[in-house]
Amino acid sequence: MEKKAKIKIAITIASLAAISILFTRQQRRRRKLNQCSQYSCYLQSEPKPQHNFKRVLADNSYSPFKHANKEKSSGSHPYELEITALLENPRPEFDFSNVDLDLQRSDSFVWVETKSQLNELANALSKEFFFAVDTEQHSLRSFLGFTALIQISTEKEDYLVDTIALHDEISILQPFFADPGVCKVFHGSDNDVMWLQRDFHIYVVNLFDTAKACEVLSKPQKSLAYLLETYCGVATNKFLQREDWRQRPLPAEMLQYAQTDAHYLLYIAKCLVAELKQQGNENSYCPDDKFNFVLEASRRSNTVCLQVYTKEIESYPGEAAASSIFFRLLNGQGGVSSISSVTQDLVRRLCAWRDLMARVHDESLRFVLSDQAIIALANKAPANPTDVYTTIAQADSDVDCLNLSSSLPSPSPVVCSHLDDVERQVCNNVENLDDILLANLQKCLGPNGSCPLSVFNYVLPAKSNWELKNQSNKFVYKQNGVKVSRQVAKKASRDLFVQKFSCKSPVYHNCRIYANDGRLLCYCDRKKLEWYLTRDLAKLVEDNPPAIMLLFEPKGRPEDEGNEFYIQSKKNICVSCGEGNHYLRYRIIPSCYRIHFPEQLKSHRSHDIVLLCVDCHEVAHAAAEKYKKQISAEFGIPLFIHKVADSRKAEARPGFSASITNFEAGVSPLQLRTAAMALLHHGPTMPSNRREELRRIVMRYYGGREISQEDLERALLVGMSPRERRRHAKKRGLSLKMSKPTDFPDRQQDSYPAVMVESATMDATKADNVLGLHAIETQKSGEKEGRSSLTESHESKPPTCSNGGIDQLVFSTIWKKMNSTSKVSDSKDDSVGNVDDECENSSVQNGFGSSSPTPNSKVSLLGHGPHGKQVVDYLLREYGEDGIRQFCQRWRQVFVEALHPHFLPAGWDVMHRREFGEFSVYNPAKKPADDGAAEINKMHH
Contact region for Mn ion (CB under 5 A) — 128-136, 323-331, 540-548, 571-579?
A: 128-136
Q: Is 616 in the site for Zn ion (CB under 5 A)?
A: yes
Q: Is 134 in the site for ligand AMP (CB under 6 A)?
A: yes
Q: Taking a C-beta distance cutoff of 8 angstroms, is the pair 752, 740 a contact?
A: no
Residue nearest to Mn ion according to CB distances in the complex: 261
Please choose, from the candidates 198, 248, 245, the residue with its C-alpha nearest in 3D space to the C-alpha of residue 456.
198
Q: Could you tell me how many helices (H) and strands (E) the chain has, helices first? A: 37, 14
Q: Taking a C-beta distance cutoff of 8 angstroms, is the pair 136, 147 a contact?
A: yes
Please choose, from the candidates 693, 656, 698, the residue with its C-alpha nearest in 3D space to the C-alpha of residue 677.
698
Alpha helices in 232-364 (DSSP H): 252-263, 265-282, 293-305, 319-330, 341-361
| Choice between 131 and 477, CB closer to Mn ion | 131
How many Å is the Cα radius of gyration of the chain? 35
Out of 68, 577, 729, 775, the residue judged to bind Zn ion by CB under 5 A: 577
Contact region for Zn ion (CB under 5 A) — 2-10, 136-144, 610-618, 668-676?
A: 610-618
| Choice between 185 and 488, CB closer to ligand AMP | 185
- The distance of closest approach from Cβ of residue 187 to ligand AMP in the complex, given in angstroms and rounded to an integer, is 7
Q: Is 613 in the site for Zn ion (CB under 5 A)?
A: yes
Residue 749 CB contacts under 8 Å (≥ 6 apart), including other chains: 783, 786
Pick from ligand AMP, Zn ion, Mn ion, none: which does 432 bind, CB < 5 to 8 A by kind?
none
Query: Residue 550 carries which side chain, given as an amino acid letter?
Result: L
Pick from ligand AMP, Zn ion, Mn ion, none: which does 613 bind, CB < 5 to 8 A by kind?
Zn ion
Q: Is 81 in the site for Zn ion (CB under 5 A)?
A: no
Q: Hey, which residues does 585 pair with through a beta bridge?
A: 611
Residues 161-200 as x/- pattern, contact with ligand AMP by CB under 6 A = ---------------------------x------------
Contact region for ligand AMP (CB under 6 A) — 107-115, 133-141, 704-712, 775-783?
A: 133-141
- The distance of closest approach from Cβ of residue 575 to Zn ion in the complex, given in angstroms and rounded to an integer, is 8
Contact region for ligand AMP (CB under 6 A) — 237-245, 410-418, 525-533, 827-835?
A: 237-245
For residues 296, 298, 300, 302, the Cα torsion angle rounded to the nearest 10 degrees is -150
Query: What is the DSSP secondary structure assignment for residue 667, as one 8-state letter?
Result: B
Query: What is the DSSP secondary structure assignment for residue 15, as one 8-state letter?
Result: H
Residue 382 CB contacts under 8 Å (≥ 6 apart), including other chains: 388, 390, 391, 423, 426
Q: Taking a C-beta distance cutoff of 8 angstroms, is the pair 553, 515 a contact?
A: yes
Distance CA 136, CA 900 (A): 59
CB atoms within 10 A of CB 857: 17
Pick from Zn ion, ligand AMP, Mn ion, none: which does 579 bind, CB < 5 to 8 A by kind?
Zn ion
| Choice between 148 and 584, CB closer to ligand AMP | 148
Out of 53, 245, 367, 501, the residue judged to bind ligand AMP by CB under 6 A: 245
Distance CA 133, CA 186 (A): 5
Contact region for ligand AMP (CB under 6 A) — 239-247, 288-296, 672-680, 921-929?
A: 239-247
Query: What is the DSSP secondary structure assignment for residue 538, as one 8-state letter?
Result: E
- The distance of closest approach from Cβ of residue 351 to ligand AMP in the complex, given in angstroms and rounded to an integer, is 22
Q: Is 261 in the site for ligand AMP (CB under 6 A)?
A: yes
What distance lies between CA 509 and its chain's CA centroid?
33
- The distance of closest approach from Cβ of residue 134 to Mn ion in the complex, given in angstroms and rounded to an integer, is 4
Contact region for ligand AMP (CB under 6 A) — 135-143, 355-363, 754-762, 781-789?
A: 135-143
What burial class does residue 36 get, using C-beta atoms within 10 Å of its C-beta: 0-12 exposed, 13-18 middle, 19+ buried?
Answer: middle
Footprint on residues 80-99 left by Mn ion (CB under 5 A)? none
Distance CA 750, CA 707 (A): 18
Q: Taking a C-beta distance cutoff of 8 angstroms, is the pair 391, 373 a contact?
A: yes
Pick from ligand AMP, Mn ion, Zn ion, none: which does 137 bind, CB < 5 to 8 A by kind?
ligand AMP
- The distance of closest approach from Cβ of residue 172 to Mn ion in the complex, given in angstroms and rounded to an integer, is 22
Alpha helices in 36-185 (DSSP H): 80-88, 115-125, 174-178
| Choice between 261 and 434, CB closer to Mn ion | 261
Query: What is the DSSP secondary structure assignment for residue 699, as one 8-state letter?
Result: H
Helix (H) or strand (E) holding 136: strand 130-138
- The distance of closest approach from Cβ of residue 300 to ligand AMP in the complex, given in angstroms and rounded to an integer, is 18
Out of 371, 525, 561, 579, the residue judged to bind Zn ion by CB under 5 A: 579
Q: Is 830 in the site for Mn ion (CB under 5 A)?
A: no
Q: Is 303 in the site for ligand AMP (CB under 6 A)?
A: no
- The distance of closest approach from Cβ of residue 240 to ligand AMP in the complex, given in angstroms and rounded to an integer, is 9
Pick from ligand AMP, Zn ion, Mn ion, none: which does 577 bind, CB < 5 to 8 A by kind?
Zn ion
Residues 136-165 as x/- pattern, contact with ligand AMP by CB under 6 A = xx-x--------------------------
Footprint on residues 302-361 left by Zn ion (CB under 5 A)? none
Pick from ligand AMP, Zn ion, Mn ion, none: which does 898 bind, CB < 5 to 8 A by kind?
none
Q: Is 275 in the site for ligand AMP (CB under 6 A)?
A: no
C-alpha distances out from residue 692 to 171, 695, 706, 707, Å: 22, 5, 12, 12
Query: Residue 586 carries which side chain, given as an amino acid letter?
Result: Y
Distance CA 347, CA 323 (A): 9
Q: Is 576 in the site for Zn ion (CB under 5 A)?
A: yes
Residue 402 CB contacts under 8 Å (≥ 6 apart), including other chains: none
Q: Is 134 in the site for Mn ion (CB under 5 A)?
A: yes
Note the residues at the interface with Mn ion (CB under 5 A): 134, 261
Note the residues at the interface with ligand AMP (CB under 6 A): 134, 136-137, 139, 188, 241-242, 245, 261
Note the residues at the interface with Zn ion (CB under 5 A): 574, 576-577, 579, 613, 616
